Structure 1
């Protein structure tokens, strides 16, 4: 009787021992938890989450201009921007950071602001100080045709991550009526270019993230006119039109795209001190046979002439010189070449390239004494010099 009653007990002991042996590998390893379930719907994960696996890319990106296109003002404190000390950016007269909800830009060229209701602060009847120019510390008026408190912020398609306009059913971000949409994050973050990443963070599969290396991706924002013409105003090309300019260039014709020369994760503006290299190629890496030693020992770089600053974001630095390099590259050596159409609203309308005035009068003076500090040259003289420039010794 006693022996018969032992069998159930022995069976329990055996089962318990078997569970103990099969629950761990190598007898003492901990139990491995089940992996996180794969989400069934796409959602934003955030750039900081991307950094857990892509720290090197994140460290470059966070020092570039992309994430600082729109900066939230928290508790009345000035947003921190790389390469600038706090207190450097000057607000409109009589305003404090407590009066501002967001700062537009503030990384490289200029800063503007959204007021307490989310409207862009404008110049109508103000003190001509609603734009701060970073190159020279000046303040100028922005958008004189709009009264203060009436110009909505509808720039989120290119200034934020995950923008959804009110026209498309989006809410007003933070309940601010002046912001004409909602977004996941201010500034251009990883997922604005790579797509929502919550599934990829779990699977880590490349197929679960968007990797688009085409120039067309850059062209979603580095453009202006719907027909891809190069918009101009006030004697200069407008800013953020690099894709439109590139379309008219021989680089486009020869399938040399944006990422052939740029790392989109790194800063170009502060390439000398930011992590990574925003510009990854030298012109001579491809154009190795061109003669460039025939300009009087001036030691000019290729980009001095082929990427002149004919574009303007904040200020002009000369009669023929703005503050942003163009991406047209080609030079029209004709003496009667014109960069703009008759109305001055479109640049390089015939696709012939940069006109000689915006190339050469960066340094030389025109017949009216306008331009740089070097000798006066007529367009005919410039044309004679420029024609077959790289083929002469």
Structure 2
């Protein structure tokens, strides 16, 4: 893909830089040709509510100092075996799923142990609090700045670290990663001065929420969709004419986690907002009464960022395909396992909960009418044969009469 680069000036104006963002390294759009980066803290004074909400999301934590990575985790994320945090320059992630580590030379740590010759055990998974291998033993440069930093340029090496490809103006995904450099907006006093960029296109989010060369293809590996494939999934879904912000507030977190106290805070539209008929059908159904939600079946965790259990058809990233293929013979992945299809198969949609069943069983239910399915009430088991009293209270009458007779006889 040929990328036309825009020449812009750095903060100090001393030299020209080409700023890019995303998997395809697309040139950064700017509110004004003279705009430079000022950092997310500069936005806080006027946009306090947006800033505070952004801090609850995962975006500010894509790249962290050792102190930052430990601050929002309890217990703190440990350093790899054979290292202390004095040996760590930056932590990649550490929020939500996993943590990888950049050494003082800028290279990603791939060898561990007391002698630092053991290949692997260099990625820490938060869910399991355990270590797994990531490119064990390889010489691995940090070349992820296009999606883990703001104001990224391919020129040079950050802090002159030989293992780092490129430089950036702010680590992690800050306000200006999506809105563009804000110096002129700030200088003009915001408002009706130099308006900041507000790009509501799904492609804006898709710059980073994709991987691989073709956005129309959904990359997969080891029985799961690869992480950060939400945009290709979305393009293959029935909702592709919508935008991410149709349902998401990008300034608020979605799931409860290290920095977000409110589940669903960043969801601005529920499924029922548009799918009113299905919601009406679903209300009162067996699944609704059991606590099942739309997203349990239509957005299962088909993706894997850190951990997944293929036997339970459950990863750790929800998908954005929404469409379920009810054919029991449909395959979720290509024969070589490198691509996911444009739909969800019944194993991921159903068998994560209905363990011990198979797709053939699921297909008998996954059809028109499922949303309003009500399980027939079980027949009440017949009691042992007994003779019912024909007159209510008649037996009680005889019992009382017998007691009276006994008392009279005793007094005689």
| Length-normalised TM-score, structure 1 | 0.79
Of 90, 101, 105, the match for 1:113: 101
Number of residue pairs the alignment of both structures matches = 328
Structure 2 match to 1:33: none
Structure 2 match to 1:79: 68
Distance in 2, matches of 1:66 and 1:336, equals: 39
Greater CA drift, 274-283 or 354-363: 274-283
Structure 2 match to 1:381: 361
Of 259, 268, 273, the match for 2:245: 259
Structure 1 match to 2:371: 390
Distance in 2, matches of 1:378 and 1:107, equals: 35
* Ranges of 4+ aligned residues in structure 1 off by more than 4 Å: 80-83
Q: CA deviation at 1:296?
A: 8.6
Q: Is the 8 A contact 1:60 1:274 kept in 2?
A: no
Structure 2 match to 1:142: 134
Distance in 1, matches of 2:242 and 2:144, equals: 29
Of 159, 165, 189, the match for 2:148: 159
Greater CA drift, 48-57 or 292-301: 292-301
**Secondary structure at the counterpart of residue 103 of structure 1:** strand
Structure 2 match to 1:171: 156
Of 16, 34, 38, the match for 1:45: 38
Structure 2 match to 1:104: 92
**Secondary structure at the counterpart of residue 348 of structure 2:** helix
Once the two structures are superposed, what CA deviation does each residue of 1:178-199 show, in whole Å capped at 9, x if it has no partner? 0010000110000011001000
Establish whether residue 364 from structure 1 lines up as the match of residue 354 from structure 2: yes
For 1:255-294, what aligned pairs fall within 5 Å after superposition?
255-270=241-256, 273=261, 277-290=265-278, 291-292=281-282, 293-294=285-286
Q: Is the 8 A contact 1:262 1:278 kept in 2?
A: yes
Of 167, 180, 185, the match for 2:165: 180
Sort the Cα spacing of 1:361 and 1:330 in 2 relative to 1 into closer, same or farther, 3 A.
same
Structure 1 match to 2:307: 315
Distance in 2, matches of 1:192 and 1:263, equals: 16
Distance in 2, matches of 1:385 and 1:379, equals: 10
CA RMSD of aligned residues (A): 2.1
Distance in 2, matches of 1:120 and 1:52, equals: 36
Distance in 1, matches of 2:89 and 2:252, equals: 28
For 1:311-350, what aligned pairs fall within 5 Å after superposition?
311-317=303-309, 319=311, 320-348=313-341
Distance in 2, matches of 1:46 and 1:383, equals: 52
Distance in 1, matches of 2:135 and 2:262, equals: 33
Sort the Cα spacing of 1:314 and 1:100 in 2 relative to 1 into closer, same or farther, 3 A.
same
Sort the Cα spacing of 1:82 and 1:279 in 2 relative to 1 into closer, same or farther, 3 A.
farther
Establish whether residue 226 from structure 1 lines up as the match of residue 213 from structure 2: yes
Structure 1 match to 2:293: 301
Distance in 1, matches of 2:119 and 2:366, equals: 46
For 1:15-94, what aligned pairs fall within 5 Å after superposition?
41-73=34-66, 78-80=67-69, 83-85=72-74, 87-94=75-82
Sort the Cα spacing of 1:127 and 1:137 in 2 relative to 1 into closer, same or farther, 3 A.
farther
Distance in 2, matches of 1:189 and 1:315, equals: 27
For 1:198-213, what aligned pairs fall within 5 Å after superposition?
198-203=183-188, 204=190, 205=192, 207-213=194-200
Once the two structures are superposed, what CA deviation does each residue of 1:70-90 show, in whole Å capped at 9, x if it has no partner? 1134xxxx22567423x5201
